[in-house]
Amino acid sequence: MKKILAAVVTVIILTASFATVLASDYIGNANSKKFHYADCPSVEKMSPANKVFMNTREEAINAGYVPCKRCNP
């Protein structure tokens, strides 16, 4: 019974974190301090460790990020 509970909790946590990633419209690069649309080609080349997920443009700008010149977010 405890194993089932642990499995259910794990699924809920995974779903919640996955939903956060999907809900993010903007992705910042913690290294270059630039932010992109989530579908910008530069995001694919970005190291996962540098990715910062953001929901709004304001959030990115307030955090000191500069819009990418390629995707123009």
User: What residue ranges bind Zn ion (CB under 5 A)?
Assistant: 36, 40, 42, 68, 70-71
The CB-nearest residue to Zn ion is 68
Q: Give the shortest CB-6-to-Zn ion separation in angstroms.
A: 40
Q: Give the shortest CB-61-to-Zn ion separation in angstroms.
A: 15
Q: What is the DSSP string of 27-64?
A: EEETTTTEEEETT-HHHHHS-GGGEEEESSHHHHHHTT
First-residue to last-residue Cα distance in the chain: 48
Q: Give the shortest CB-40-to-Zn ion separation in angstroms.
A: 3
